[in-house]
């Protein structure tokens, strides 16, 4: 299978046209249930990706917040769907009876999940409200139907979304900027976090140091630390944020850290066109759906490949995005607990005044330089992620979601290819010839995402390896919880 990169082109997003709507919605019986891209769950997931990319464009990258949006959107959809399944149970929806067998038809499932999706999407992504409204009308549904009648599919969908959103209003995310200690803006910090090192002075090498970004006007600014309280957010299926917290990163002065710092420099100095393309693909650029969305794209490729029904897609998206949401919470627990340095500072300290080869910037390419001049393979507008290093968020989410797809499908086979132009997002005046990245297995895709962060100069290898482990632990634990929710036997399954 081969697909085009979703995040690099607005044209691709705007070309989306819903096809294959079930004719049951118009009162006709369709003997063949819509599958893959034709099923309604897939179509709502695609709109969620489009809205996520738009949100990134408006609010800048917020991978933690994005994971919460997507996790709760698909929880709303899942909860509504369970009322039309013979044995599944909702996560949050209460006091709504399972509908009788005579009502468990595709038409009712589509209506219920559509109202759940519409209400959740319209709340979390208000910029695209008209797009969601148009989709409802296209499906033959009234977007103004706010019924909460638990005996109707529309009422169940509306109830599911409302219940999920109300249940999570005070989940520690500070969605409305109302938590004591915050500045009143949504998703602002309320813990009073201040980095030990300021942006100009590194007084404690083992701790994170923020770096300057450069905006479109060429001005330097400090983006601050992204959601430094995210470890306080209530997990979706995990018990608690530190449930799988990894041990400490390599100590300053250790041989292990010395080797890992050198590895980062060596990898950058020898970046191949394929390496550059991989760094950019996993880093994303404008219109990024970020890590939670990245793996939703991969999930949709699985849906098309395996021709999923609505039921299969509802379950897969819910499980995969539960791993992404819980993964960011657990990852931020480690990040804020250890408050560990990134390679940007470590290379400067370890290789100061040593002659190395590294990337000097978009118009300079690879040159010979002093260690203190080294920088990640990244544009000036996004020099380095604005939060501590250990563990890698990309590795955590990619390791976890890859494991989730492996467990869900029962096979590690993936088989996706992506064609990219190396340097497109980082050095647009020095583009290479197109290359094809291959993701033969889910596990390999997760590992490629993780190592790309070391190649890019954002993480040392320990950040990556421990992040992959953390994500897989979460995926295995959540799989057991997911199986319980869909009414399957969990004896002998991973996850305790």
Neighbours of 491 (CB within 10 A): 7
Please enumerate in sequence order all residues whose Cβ is within 8 A of that of 195, keeping only pairs 6 or more positions apart, or say none.
Answer: 207, 208, 209, 210, 225, 339
pLDDT at 23: 37
Pick 10-174+194-485's CATH classification: 1.10.620.20, 1.10.606.20, 3.60.15.10, 2.60.40.10.
1.10.606.20
Among 472, 479, 450, CA closest to 462: 450
Longest Cα separation, the chain: 76
Whole-model pTM? 0.93
Q: CA separation (Å) from 260 to 249, 255, 461, 495? A: 11, 9, 6, 31
- Predicted confidence at residue 285, as pLDDT, reads 58
pLDDT of 417-430, one tens digit each? 999 999 998 998 87
Each residue of 339-383: pLDDT tens digit? 999 999 999 999 999 999 999 998 899 999 999 999 999 988 888
Q: For residue 362, with 0-12 CB atoms within 10 Å meaning exposed, 13-18 middle and 19 or more buried, which class applies? A: middle
The full 3-state SS of 108-165, as one line of letters, equals HHHHHHHHHHHHHHHHHCHHHHHHHHHHHHHCCCCCCCCCCCCCCHHHHHHHHHHHHH
Residue 149 confidence (pLDDT) = 98
What confidence score (pLDDT) does residue 82 get?
98
pLDDT score, position 10 = 32
Please report the pLDDT score of residue 386 as a whole number. 94
What's the pLDDT score for residue 1? 42
- What's residue 352's pLDDT? 97
**Domain boundaries along the sequence of the chain:** 10-174+194-485
Pair 144, 29: CB distance under 8 Å: no
Residues of the chain with pLDDT under 70: 1-31, 285-287, 492-496
The pLDDT score that the predictor gives to residue 376 is: 96
The reported pLDDT for the residue numbered 380 is: 85
If residue 330 lies in a helix (H) or strand (E), which one and from where to where?
A: helix 310-338
pLDDT of residue 19: 36
d(CA 396, CA 59): 23
Find out whether 234 and 168 touch, Cβ atoms under 8 Å: yes
Beta partners for 436? 419
């Amino acid at each position: 299978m081969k697909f085009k990169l979703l995040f690099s082109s607005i044209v691709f997003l705007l070309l989306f046209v819903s096809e294959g709507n079930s004719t049951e919605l118009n009162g006709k019986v369709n003997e063949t249930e819509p599958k893959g891209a034709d099923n309604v769950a897939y179509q709502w997931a695609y709109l969620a990706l489009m809205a996520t990319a738009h949100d990134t464009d408006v609010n800048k990258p917020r991978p933690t917040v994005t994971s919460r949006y997507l996790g709760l959107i698909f929880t709303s959809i899942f909860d509504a769907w369970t009322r039309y399944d013979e044995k599944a149970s909702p996560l949050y929806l209460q006091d709504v009876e399972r509908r009788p067998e005579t009502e468990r038809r595709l038409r009712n499932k589509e209506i219920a999940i559509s109202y759940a999706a519409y209400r959740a999407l319209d709340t979390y992504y208000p910029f695209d409200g008209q797009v969601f409204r148009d989709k409802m009308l296209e499906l033959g549904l009234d977007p103004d139907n706010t019924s909460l009648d638990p005996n109707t599919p529309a009422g169940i969908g509306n109830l599911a979304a409302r219940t999920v959103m109300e249940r999570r209003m005070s989940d520690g995310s500070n969605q409305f900027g109302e938590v004591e200690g915050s500045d009143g803006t949504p998703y602002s910090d309320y813990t009073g976090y201040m980095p030990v090192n300021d942006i100009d002075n590194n007084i404690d090498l083992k701790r994170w140091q923020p770096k300057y970004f450069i905006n479109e006007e060429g001005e330097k600014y400090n983006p601050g630390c992204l959601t430094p309280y995210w470890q306080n957010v209530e997990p979706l299926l995990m018990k608690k944020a530190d449930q799988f917290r990894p041990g400490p990163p390599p100590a300053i002065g250790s041989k292990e850290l010395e080797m890992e710092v050198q590895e980062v420099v060596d990898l950058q100095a020898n970046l191949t066109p394929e390496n550059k393309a991989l760094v950019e693909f996993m880093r994303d650029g404008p219109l990024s759906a970020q890590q939670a969305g990245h793996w939703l794209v991969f999930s949709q490729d699985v849906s098309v490949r395996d021709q999923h029904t609505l039921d299969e897609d509802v379950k897969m998206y819910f499980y995969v995005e539960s791993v992404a949401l819980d993964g960011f919470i657990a990852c931020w627990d480690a990040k804020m607990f250890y408050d560990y340095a990134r390679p940007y500072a470590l290379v400067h300290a370890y290789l100061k005044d040593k002659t190395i080869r590294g990337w000097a910037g978009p118009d300079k390419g690879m040159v010979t330089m002093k260690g203190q001049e080294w920088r990640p393979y990244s544009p000036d507008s996004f020099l380095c992620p604005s939060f501590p290093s250990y563990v890698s968020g990309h590795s955590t989410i990619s390791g976890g979601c890859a494991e989730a797809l492996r467990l869900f499908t029962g096979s590690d086979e993936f088989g996706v290819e992506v064609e990219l132009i190396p340097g497109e997002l980082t050095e647009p005046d020095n583009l290479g010839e197109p290359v094809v990245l291959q993701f033969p297995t889910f596990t390999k895709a997760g590992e490629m995402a993780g190592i790309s962060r070391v190649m890019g100069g954002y993480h040392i290898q320990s950040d990556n390896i421990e992040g992959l482990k953390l994500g897989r632990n979460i995926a295995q634990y959540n799989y057991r919880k997911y199986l319980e929710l869909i009414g399957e036997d969990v004896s002998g399954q991973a996850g305790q």
